[in-house]
Amino acid sequence: MYAIVEIAGQQFKVEKDQKYFVHQLEGKPGSKVTFENVLLLDDKGKVSVGAPAVNGVQVTAKIEQHLLGDKVIVFKKKRRKGYKVKNGHRQRLTEITVQEIGKKATPKSETKAAPKKAAPKSEAKVETKKAAPKKAAPKKAAAKPKPAVASKPKKES
C-alpha cells in the first residue's frame, strides 16, 4: 500500500515504515503529524485518484529530527567585468517516518446529522420609494466666437 501525499508544498510517494526528508515542519521531535492532502491511494492494486484529493484518507507520520541539508554553493561571475558573488545555503529539513496510511475516522454526529430546514423569513412589508424625476442639467452656454484677426498686409520688396 502506498500513497502520494502533498507535504510542505511537495509531492511524495510514501509507504508505511519508510523514512523521508521533507522541508522543515512545525512540531517537536517525537510528535505526530497528519497529512490530509492525499492525491492518490493504492490499496493492493485498487487505485483511488482524488480530484484534487481523496476524501476520508490521511497519512500519519512521526517527526524523528530536524536537521540541515548539504551545503549548496552559489557562485556568479561575469567575465572581464570584475563581478564575482559567492553565496552558500543549507536547507532546513525534517526527517519523518510514516506510521499509518488509512481512512480518517468520521465522528457519528457528522454522518447522522440531517440538514436543517431554513427558518421562515418574516414577511415585513418593504415600501419602495419612487425616485424623484431628475432635473434637466443646465445647458452649456454656446461658445463665444473668436474675434476675427485681421491679417497684416505683406510687404512688397
DSSP string, 88-142: EEEEEEEEEEEEEEEEPPPPHHHHHPPPPPPPPPP----PPPPPPPPPPPPPPPP
Q: What is the pLDDT of residue 104?
A: 74
> Residue 82 and residue 86: Cα distance in Å, rounded?
13
| Residue 102: band (very low, low, confident or very high) from pLDDT cuts 50, 70, 90 | confident
Cut 0.75: pTM above it: no
**For residue 26, is pLDDT > 60?**
yes
C-alpha to C-alpha distance for 95 and 67, rounded to whole angstroms:
8
The whole-angstrom distance between residue 47's C-alpha and the CA centroid of its chain comes to: 27
pLDDT tens readout for residues 119-149: 556 555 656 666 667 776 666 666 667 767 7
Whether 3 and 41 have beta carbons less than 8 Å apart is answered as: yes
